[in-house]
Every structure is written in C-alpha cells, then in structure tokens.
Structure 1
Amino acid sequence: MLKAGFISLGCAKNLVDTEVMLGILAENAIELTTDPSTADILIVNTCSFIKSAKEESITTILNMAEYKTAGQCKTLIIAGCLGQRYKQELLDEMPEADAIIGTGAWHRIMEAVNETLKGNRVVIAGKADTIYDDKMPRIRTTPDYSAYIKIAEGCDNRCTYCVIPMVRGNYRSRTIEDITAEVKRLAARGVKEVNLIAQDTTNYGHDIYGKSRLTDLLRELVKIEELKWVRILYCYPKYFTDELIELMANEPKICKYVDLPLQHADNEVLRRMNRRDTKESVEELLQKIHARIPNVTVRSSFIVGFPGETQEQYQNLRDFVEAQRFDKVGVFTYSREEDTPAFSMENQVTEEVMQERYHDLMSLQCKISEEVNLQLEGSTFEVLIEGRDLEQKSVSYGRSYREAPEVDGQIYVENDLDSQPGDFIKVKIVQGFTYDVLGEKIQN
C-alpha cells in the first residue's frame, strides 16, 4: 500500500481543502502518514497570500524534496494557492516538484498522483470555481471536539492589495441544507465546537439566495443538540447586520466573539484599499456591537505601510486602535503582490518605515491586551480543555468563547488533575497576562 504525507500551510480555509484531499486519498486505498520519511507521496498544500507565506511554502517544498533521497518519496506534489497562482512557472523552476495542483483542482488529487507515479510531470490548475460539499470524503486533522466548516469559497470584495480572488475565484456559497447536514454528521461524531469560515462569512448566501442568509444558517445550526459552540470567523464589516448582532446577543450557542478584519482606519487609505467602509461606519458598527452584545470579544487585523500611507494616516490608525481597545489584534506589514492594483501604486512605503509602524502598533496593542486580560481577574468562564502542560501535569489549558483556535491565547488552569481534552469546565481567572490568562478550576 502506498503511503502519503501531507503538509498544510496557511489559513484554516486551506486546511479544509487539505482534509478533503486526505479523504480522497484514503478512499483510494492510500495510507496516510505523519512521518514524511516513510511517505511514497508528499503533498504540500501551499499559501501565497503574502510574501512571508510564499517564502514558507517554498522552504517547506524544498525541505520535503530532501526525502526523495533521505526517505522513500517517489513523487512530490505542490497543491493550493501557490500552485494556482504560478502554475507552469513553478514546475519549470522547481525540478524537485512532480506535479502542480491548484485550488481549482483539489478534487483531482488522484489524477496528479497517478500521473506522477507513471513518471509524468503535470500541471492541473483548473478553474477556481469548485467548493466541497457534504458528500465529499474528509479526514479532519483538528481535535475530535472541534471542526472548521467552510461555508463559502472565493471573494468578490476586490481589495487592491489582495490576490485571493485571483487564486480562489469569485464568491460561491454552499447551501444551508448541505452545511447543516455536514455539521449534524460531525456533531454526532463528537464535535462540540464548529468554526464557520469563508473569505467573508457575513456575505454568505448572496450569490445563491440573492441576499445574506448567514443568520438563517446560524438558526439551523444552533438547533443541533450536540453542539456547544458556533463561532463565526472572517466577518466583513459592511455586511455585519443588525439582525446578526441581535442573534449573537441572544443565542447562547453562538460565541460572543466578533472577528472583524478592518485593515485600516484612515478613510483615504481605506479608499485606496477599495474597502467598502469608512472609519465612521466602522465606529458606528463597533458601538452597536458593544452596546448590544454583553461581554463581547472583538478581534481585528490591520495593515501598516500600505502604498502612500503617510505618518499622519498611520497616526489616525494608531489613534483608532487606542480608542477602540480591541481585545485582540493582528498587525501585518503591507506585502507588495504582483498582479494586484496596489503593486503599481506610487509612494511605496520603505521596509524600515513599515517595521517601525508595525512594532509601534504591536507595542500599543500588547499594552491594551494586557490591561484587558488583567480586568478579567475574578471573572468566571466556561473553558474547553485542549491539553495538559507537559512539565506540570496538574495544569491543563484550553479556551473560552473569547479565544478562537490557533490564533488567540490560552487559559491555563491550575490544580486540574482530571479534565480531558474536549471537556468543558468552569474556571475562575486569577491572573492576566499579555496574551494568556491563568485560572483555577471551580469544583462542582
């Protein structure tokens, strides 16, 4: 039996593609292995969103290529966004690669495997117009109690810095019935937390229903008895409706966690980014969210150093972050990507200035995050346990509704000898830090 090893890079949306490809391989009697030295087939599902992601993808591919001599690898396949974006160029410039398979062709993974095992080098990019459904095989790589659910693929927003529409295609939603069927099946198998993902979750349904149907989808999912948490990630502010706010406020199963990538807060920069909101509209939305959703956690992300960003415009962003006091923030320096409108914009900001602004904004947010976490001391949360400290067996760790998987900090729980991954326990916070907090288990 042939063995396949998989490395998945980039976002959770890419991870779902990886899980479906794993399912297809398993259905075709290919054994899966986590040890690349024993794999006959190695597949790297790549990311090409920004420069650092591309560099990580290339490095990983080259590292895996070493198993052609140090292991038993017969074929090395480059999948995902990098393959979709650069296609033949990758095959020509990376002799280590045997096949390129793009985001529009993940369902043809066996075709790539079979062709390369015959000795052929192939490009199977396809048109980015597919999306998986509940009937597709899928082997989850996340813990048994948690799953990502991709409710839509692609994007129609056309931000001037972003390559996603190029590599993922136009926005396309799955049906409510199909998503609900998948979540019901996963919940019956022990999944307690589902994280809804798309390039823009709040735009869900516009393409197939003529209007946003995210709230209708959520109302179906919360009916699933076995589910404990439904978390919504990647929300675009323009489509964050009052109806969604009210549903989040009143439905216990929907995590009071708003993931709202805003990217900037200066109106001129937002215009050049082709964002569809303004500083004033975002401020109004944030005010509504905080007023209507008790104890809500708000996360955002911002880009510094966008072409033409002046010191004054950066200061407007800094002042906005300081005033809003987000619970969690990710900061990125602008990545100049070819084939995007921003690539050829005038007044590109130097790397030195970008780094100064990045560290300045991160320093500000670290201070805010620590103050937010210190204010949590004495509060009680329901925590989903995910593991145990390797050195202190009496310390477990997990997440509350305030922490999304992989991107946020942890809650460490002292004097907890019994809890197992997947358990929900009550925890009192005793100490807050910049990213993590320390708590103690409340005995029932």
Structure 2
Amino acid sequence: MWRALMTTTLPSAPKVGMVSLGCPKALVDSERILTKLRADGYEMSGNYDDADVVLVNTCGFLDSAKEESLEAIGEAIAENGRVIVTGCMGNEAEVIRQRFPGVLAVTGPHQYEAVVGAVHEAAPVPPSPFLNLVPERDLKLTPRHYSYLKISEGCNHRCAFCIIPSIRGDLVSRRPDAILREAEKLVQAGTKELLVISQDTSAYGVDIRHQPRAWKGGEVRAHMTDLARELGRLGAWVRLHYVYPYPHVDQVIPLMAEGLVLPYLDIPFQHASPKVLKAMKRPANEAKVLERLKAWRAICPDIAVRSSFVVGFPGETEEDFQYLLDWLDEAQLDRVGAFRFEPVEGAAANALPDPVPEEVKEERYARVMEKTAAISAAKQRAKIGRTLDVIIDAVDAEDGGATGRSKADAPEIDGEVHLRDAGHLKPGDIVSVVIEDADDHDLFGALPGA
C-alpha cells in the first residue's frame, strides 16, 4: 500500500560574492572567511547579479593598491549595491565611508569574526538544519592542487617604506601543530604543493620562543627549519616565500638538497647599496649575502632564488643604482621583480630628503628589468636538454598542450613550462619533462618520448 510522503521545502540560502585583492596572505584570509560562511549555510556566487551581499577584501600596502581597492568597492556598489569591506584598507574606514557612504560594514585585516558577523546581519541565513552544514574541507580560491599555508601574521621589522606593521601588527606565530594539521588536511584533500607564506617566514616562532608542540609521537619546534622538515614529510612540494636571509636560513638548504623542501627561496632583498639599505632600515650585509648564495649553490646546485627590488628610493644616486646592477651581475638571481618607489601614507620614507624624479625612476626601472631579463634568459637556456619535474596547472584538450611549473617557479609570479602533446594530463599531475627550448622567462618541452 502506497503512503503519501511528506516533502520538505528548503529555504533558499543567501549568496555571497567575493572580490579578493592583494597578496597571497589576503587570499588565505578570503578562503577562511568563505569557509566559515559556507559552514554557516551561505552559498557562494561568482558574479554580482545574484549575490545577496558582496565582500571586497582590500589591499592597503601602496597608494596605487588603495586606489585599486577603492575602484573595486565602487564597482561592487555599482553592480550590486550591498557591499561589505574588509582587509588591510579596512583600517581606513573613514576614507572608505567618505567615498562610499553606502557600504554596509567595514572591518580590518584578519578580523574573521567581525566580517562574518557583518554578513549575518546583512543577509541572515534562514534557520534550517539542511543549510547549516560544515564543508568537508576548506573552500579554496586557488586551484585544488596547490594551497597557500599561512604560518604567522604581522611583522617585527620597521622598514621605512612599509606600513604593514601598522596594518597587521607585530609578529604573531601560529602553533606548529596547528599548521601541520592544516597542511595534512590540505594534502589529503588533493593539494600537491604547499606555498608557505607570512610577512617574515624566517622569524616564525620568535614571538613564542620557538616553543615545541607534540606532533606524530614526537615534538616539533615553532621554528622555520623544523616546520619545513615536517611539512616536507607530508609528501607534497613545499615552497618557502618571504624568507629574510637570517643566519639560520642556512639550515634549510640541506633539506632542499635532500628533496624535503623545494630548492626555491623567495627573499626580499629590496636593494644592494649599503647606503640605500640603511635608509630603508634594512640589514646592509650585501657582501655576506653574496658569499651565502655561493655556499647555498654549493650544497644545492639547483636552488632558485627570487627577489624583489625597489628603484628610485629617496636619496638613491646613480652610483647607488649602478651598485645594485653590479651586485645583480654577481648574485645571478634566478627570478627578479622590481618596483618603482611609491610614497605610502604613514610610511617613514615619505619624510626622507632628495626624492628621485619620476622620469629617473622609470629609466632605472627599465635598466634593472633589462639586466635581470638577460640573466634569466641565460639561466633558462642552460636548462635546454635537461629533464625537469613539472606540476601541471592547466591543460588545453583541443590543441593538446599543457602549462605547468618547474620547482623553480611559483604560481602567478614566476615563469611557466609549456608542454606539447600533453592533452591527456590533468591539473595537479607531476611529470618529467624534457626541455626543448626557452625564452627570457618560460620553458618549452615535452614528455620523454613525445
């Protein structure tokens, strides 16, 4: 005998859109916010039209980044109208509200509970046991096969051109066991590459005196070397970003030679001239750095070192700039980015004398990029004929090509490896590739035998 079945009509879950600006650290913040909102029953929207509220995670490091953030807020208001602002520029709530009085709420960086609370107030979730579900794993804004792993917040440095400490505060390190548990979950969920990020990765654990925590039947210190070693044992690629060249960084190089950590260091040198480094309030030990680079390469010949430099800092003379060019010739860094100095509201550098004219900044920027492109091209050509491990990021089934990265390439900031006859691969695959050609920044190759 048939019985009538009671049906339940589910309430519609509010949809949240997200615009995430700035660095990978901000991207991690966005992922955490979205994960919490998804656990609270919200759905995610990929466009303005059907979102009940839009979050804009802002960047406030440079004046140009602030303007980009304001433009993003304006676009979100024009397209949707219901906007909540968070992130680094959230510390300047009065500026945001003066320009956009219609924003629903403004919160500062890594204020997860505050921004989630603002969403609850703006677009409440109807009470329902079917909507308030916790996802099996964190929501991600990056591809499934790589993940950013934030190990600390804030910074203890007081560089003259930077306002990060005033935005995000002093160094606050996470417990090593908490980081490792998060990393383990990410690997279990399909992450093939862990990108370790912070404001100062080398300083990890200083604020908590490198206190050890129980992990897998033993202990692990809150220290960059110990953390890197344990992360390497999880089986994924481990890439270290924002590493200041403190002496203990030398201890990580053998881990690279052993294969536990990728042979890659992202070190923000910023300049080489001792005079400019002193004005920047950064360590002026450029000669010792050159010695250490040679020592690192002796231990791990394949190590790739990337860095960024500021040109046109107040007081930078032609002699200082030439010093930097000569230093780059000696250092032979693998990957280099350069930035024209830009005054940032609240930065000490703004008060320094002898500003460099804009046209001189442009000319120096062009020269440093020409120099570093030539170094990169020579290093890339030297890889022709070698077989390298490559992680696949994208596959074009139509033309049979694929794009990936070698161990020397971080996503979105370094070069790529372009493969032919590789349409059968999928993102996240790690394959051996024979390098057939190269340009200034990218490599071209194929699978062995292809």
TM-score by length of structure 1 reads 0.90
8 Å contact from structure 2 (residues 53, 122) kept in 1: no
Output the CA distance in 2 between the equivalents of 1:21 and 1:40: 16
Counterparts of 1:184-203 in structure 2, within 5 Å, are 184-203=184-203
For 1:40 and 1:254, locate their aligned partners in 2 and report how far apart those are by CA, in whole Å. Answer: 43
Q: Which residue of 1 aligns with 2:174?
A: 174
Residue 19 of structure 2 corresponds to 7
Cα distance in 2, alignment partners of residues 428 and 137 from structure 1: 36
Amino acid at match of 1:12: P
The 5-angstrom pairing of residues 78-117 of structure 1 reads 78-84=85-91, 86-116=92-122
CA shift, 1:424, in A, is 1.2
Aligned to 1:433: 439
The 8 Å contact of residues 417 and 442 in structure 2, kept in 1 or not, is answered as yes
2:29 paired with 1:17:
yes
Q: Secondary structure at the match of 2:139?
A: coil
| 1:219-238 to 2 correspondences below 5 Å | 219-224=229-234, 227-238=235-246
Look up the match of 2:328: 321
Aligned to 2:53: 41
Secondary structure of the equivalent of 2:418?
strand
Partner of 1:128: none
- The aligned residue for residue 267 of structure 2 is 260
Counterpart position of 1:124: none
In 2, distance between residues paired with 1:188 and 1:115? 35
* Cα distance in 1 between the residues matched to 2:245 and 2:357: 29
CA distance in 1, matches of 2:19, 2:249: 37
Displacement of 1:16: 0.3
Select the structure of larger CA radius of gyration.
Answer: 2
- Residue of structure 2 aligned with 1:372, choices 356, 379, 384: 379
Report the Cα offset of residue 113 of structure 1: 2.0
Shift of 1:157: 1.1
Matches within 5 A, 1:113-192: 113-116=119-122, 138-192=138-192
Could you tell me which runs of 5 or more consecutive residues in structure 1 were left unpaired when the two chains were aligned: 119-134
Structure 1 distance, partners of 2:236, 2:223, is 22
Deviation per CA, 1:10-39: give whole Å up to 9, x if none. Answer: 110000000000012112211101112211
Deviation at 1:177, TM superposition (A): 0.6
Q: Is the 8 A contact 1:24 1:137 kept in 2?
A: no
Pair 171,293 (structure 1): closer, same or farther in 2 beyond 3 Å: same
**Alignment partner of 1:249: what SS?**
helix
Deviations 1:38-71 (A, max 9, x none): 1111111011111221221111111111113xxx
Unaligned runs of 5+ in 2: 1-12, 125-134, 212-221
Residue type of the alignment partner of 1:264: H
Following the alignment from structure 1 to structure 2, what is the Cα–Cα distance between the partners of residues 52 and 34?
26
Q: Partners in 1 of 2:226 and 2:303 — Cα distance? A: 21
C-alpha separation in 1, matches of 2:281 and 2:382 = 37
How far is the alpha carbon of 1:104 from its aligned partner?
Answer: 4.5
Contact 2:395–2:423 (CA<8 Å) still a contact in 1? no
C-alpha contact 2:403 2:418 (8 A) present in aligned 1 = yes
State the match for 2:279 in structure 1: 272
Taking the TM superposition and a 5 Å limit, the aligned residue runs for 1:324-339 are: 324-339=331-346
Residues matched between the structures, number:
418
For the 8 Å contact 2:306–2:334, the answer to whether it is kept is: yes
Deviation digits for residues 50-106 of structure 1, max 9, x if unmatched?
1221221111111111113xxxx4x2011101112x122321232242211101522
1:412 and 2:418 aligned: yes
Give % identity.
37
With over 3 angstroms needed to count, the CA separation of the structure-2 counterparts of 1:154 and 1:290, relative to structure 1, is: same
